[in-house]
Amino acid sequence: MPTQLQPATASYLSVNNIEVIYDHVILVLKGVSLEVPKGRIVALLGANGAGKSTTLKAISNLLGAERGDVTKGSIEFAGTRIDRLTPAELVRRGVIQVMEGRHCFGHLTIEENLLTGAFTRNGTRRQLADKLDKVYTYFPRLKQRRGSQAGYTSGGEQQMCAIGRALMAEPEMILLDEPSMGLAPQIVEEIFEIVRDLNHKEGVSFLLAEQNTMVALRYAHFGYILESGRVVMEGDADTLRNNEDVKEFYLGLSSTGRRSFRDVKHYRRRKRWL
Amino acid sequence: MQFFFEALIGGLLSGVMYSLVALGFVLIYKASGVFNFAQGAMVYFAALTVVGLMGHGMPLPVAIVLAFGAMVLLGLATERFVLRKLVGQPPISLFMATIGLAFFIEGLAPMLWGDAVRPIELGIQDEPIPWLLERFDIVVSRFDLVASGIAAVLVAVLAIFFQKTRIGRALRAVADDHQAALSIGIPLERIWAIVWAVAGFVALVAGLLWGSRNGVQFALTFTALKALPVLVLGGFDSVAGAIVGGLIIGASEKLAEIYLPPLMQAGFGGNFGGIEGWFPYVLALLFLLVRPEGLFGEKHIDRV
């Protein structure tokens, strides 16, 4: 581990060899381990169905509502085990997930959406208003739309609303699932810029699940690549970005020029990592 | 004209009684997106509990407080043993569960307290208000007036609760998206327990008022059916809708009962009575065609 990541003390997420089974039969994660150092952005990459969302939900404990279960391994945050906590307890401890597909409360206004994010924090009116202001400085667009029902806002605004709502819970770590989904490239950049900003200024750590490998690796410090429920590669974002295999399989770039889609085979078949 | 006003006022006031029952549905629908089939059974259970406790020699206020406690317990048990198992399941599963719950409660209540029809005395006279009778020669029941006053207060409090408080906001959030609410740390269990307790309280008030009017009996469970057209008209998820819907249904069914039969008799011949019984449902049916979300209901938001 590079020295600048020390000290890896207070808020530090580590997932140790977890296995997740849905409905008692479907094995989705087959021993995933990863770490998020304090104050870092870590990307979790991979194709559809690789297990990115499942990993995040295993950490935030939203699996229970989907009949999923962590059957092996452990998850620790800031030195204590968190695998058996309810989502509400986790949010109180500072770990919050922003779900894939935004999931704003459509019938509530943007501002009400943000306010619900502060549910776990008992504060005075004053403190609540201050927090709102802070979120609005990061997302000026939300301030313009504060009175609109979230269901009628654009996809980008909804993504911002979802992240802003999570911020209201004063998190130390945000599990961000597929923030780029269905958004225009320009908006994707805007959102990732804000994520970087939050990371710099507020010291929020991020675990980021993304299919958009290129963008994610530009903003993250570190990356893991998942395939069929296993981590097949990990490394610094720069290393990963320059890795020939990653380029070929996830960025669609190759030293020998473009190849026919038919020739591109599954990564695992060519090279075994585990 | 006097007669018209009398019918109108009588109708509006009885509409408030429908609103009271509808309110219980709205609460649970708002918080869990589920039509609670057991609301009528809860009305029956609440009223019967009060009467049963009074039968054991308790004064009315004590019985009401204890009955409220019982409703809260019932709500907590429902959350613990029914809803918690069904988190994240499609709404139809929850709906079916409430049907089962309705049968359970309908069986439990008479098992605990007996199934005889019993009167309940709230100490409000069901007689015309003398002042209005003398001044305008209009008969308005004091009981109806007090009942609507109680309903009005209840509605105002609930509306503020939903719009302005932290818990109220959380309730609406849960109604929109269980999963997302869970993800930001809103404890579904607690929210549902609260909402079922409040719905239990509303059922208690409705049960007392309906019970003192018609006697506490099994037929109270059918008040739920009266609430249906109210909900269709007002919207399943609007507190204000429940009230306005109730007023419209109450007034229109009374007026229809009085003014339609002569017309229909002139048109088709024969004798027409009991219009009150089916008119609200026809009205609701027509409304479904024109405005399915109801007058105040939240529009289903679909992004294209």
DSSP for chain A, written as a single string: --GGG----SS-EEEEEEEEEETTTEEEEEEEEEEE-TT-EEEEE-STTSSHHHHHHHHHT-GGGGTEEEEEEEEEETTEE-TTS-HHHHHHHTEEEE-TT----TTSBHHHHHHHHTTT----HHHHHHHHHHHHHH-HHHHHTTTSBGGGS-HHHHHHHHHHHHHTT--SEEEEE-TTTT--HHHHHHHHHHHHHHHHHT--EEEEEES-HHHHHHH-SEEEEEETTEEEEEEEHHHHHH-HHHIIIII---TT----GGG---HHHH----
What is the percentage of chain A residues whose pLDDT exceeds 70?
Answer: 87
Nearest residue in chain A measured CA to CA from B298: A107
The answer to whether B187 contacts A99, with C-beta atoms less than 8 Å apart, is no
Chain A CA closest to residue B190: A88
Residues 239-298 of chain B with CB under 8 A from chain A are 298
Encode pLDDT of A210-259 as tens digits: 998 889 999 999 999 998 899 989 999 999 988 888 877 776 666 665 55
B27 pLDDT band, cuts 50/70/90, is: confident
Tell whether A97 is within 8 A of chain B (Cβ): yes
Q: Which residue has the higher pLDDT, B36 or A11?
A: B36
Q: What is the pLDDT of residue B293?
A: 83
The alpha-carbon gap from B282 to the nearest alpha carbon of chain A, in Å, equals: 30
- CB-CB neighbors (< 8 A) of A23 in chain B: none
Closest CA to A104 of A120, A121, A116: A116
| Structure tokens belonging to residue B11 | 């109708």
pLDDT of residue B88: 67
Q: Is pLDDT above 80 for A262?
A: no
If you average pLDDT over every residue of chain B, what do you get? Answer: 85
Tell me the two tokens of residue A145.
């739309």
Top-confidence residue, B271 or A95: A95
A62 interaction partners in chain B (CB closer than 8 Å): 179, 182-183
User: pLDDT band at A137, cuts 50/70/90?
Assistant: very high
- Flag if A105 and B177 touch (Cβ within 8 Å): yes
Tens-digit pLDDT profile for residues B191-243: 888 888 889 999 999 888 888 888 888 888 887 788 889 998 988 888 888 88
Q: What's the pLDDT at A253?
A: 64
Q: Report the pLDDT averaged over residues A187-202.
A: 95
Instruction: Give the residue, B203 or B135, on which the prediction is more confident.
Output: B203
Give the mutation candidate from A104, A107, A153 for the B interface (greatest B CB count, under 10 A). Answer: A107
Q: How far is B191 from chain A (nearest CA, A)?
A: 12
Please report residues of B whose CB lies closer than 8 A to that of A107.
Answer: 172, 175-176, 298, 301
Which range in A156-165, B92-101, B131-140 is most confidently predicted, on average pLDDT? A156-165
Which residues in chain A have their CB less than 8 angstroms from residue B170's CB?
116, 119
CB A65 to CB B179 under 8 A?
yes
B182/A contact by beta carbon, under 8 A: yes
Q: Which two tokens stand for residue B120?
A: 């309940």
Angstrom distances, CA of residue B49 to CA of A235, B27, B108, B140: 67, 22, 11, 30
Selected for mutation to probe chain A from B183, B191, B239 (highest A CB count within 10 Å) is B183
Average pLDDT on B45-49 reads 92
- Record: contact A65-B178, CB cut-off 8 A: yes
pLDDT at A74 over 90: yes
Which residues in chain B have their CB less than 8 angstroms from residue A99's CB? 179-180, 183
Work out the minimum CA distance from B88 to partner chain A, whole angstroms: 5
Instruction: Say if strands A222-227 and A230-236 run parallel, antiparallel, or are unpaired.
Output: antiparallel
Q: Is the pLDDT of residue A83 over 80?
A: yes
CB pairs under 8 A between A and B: 85
Measured between beta carbons, the chain B residues lying within 8 angstroms of A106 are 176-177, 301
What would the pLDDT profile of A13-59 be if each residue is shown by its tens digit? Answer: 999 999 999 988 999 999 999 999 999 999 999 888 889 999 999 99
pLDDT of A251 reads 63
A80 or B269: whose pLDDT is higher? A80
pLDDT greater than 90 at residue A109: yes
Q: In chain B, which residue's Cα lies nearest the Cα of A90?
A: B185
Which among A98, A119, A152 has the least Cβ separation from residue B186?
A: A119
Contact B84, B189 (CB under 8 A): yes
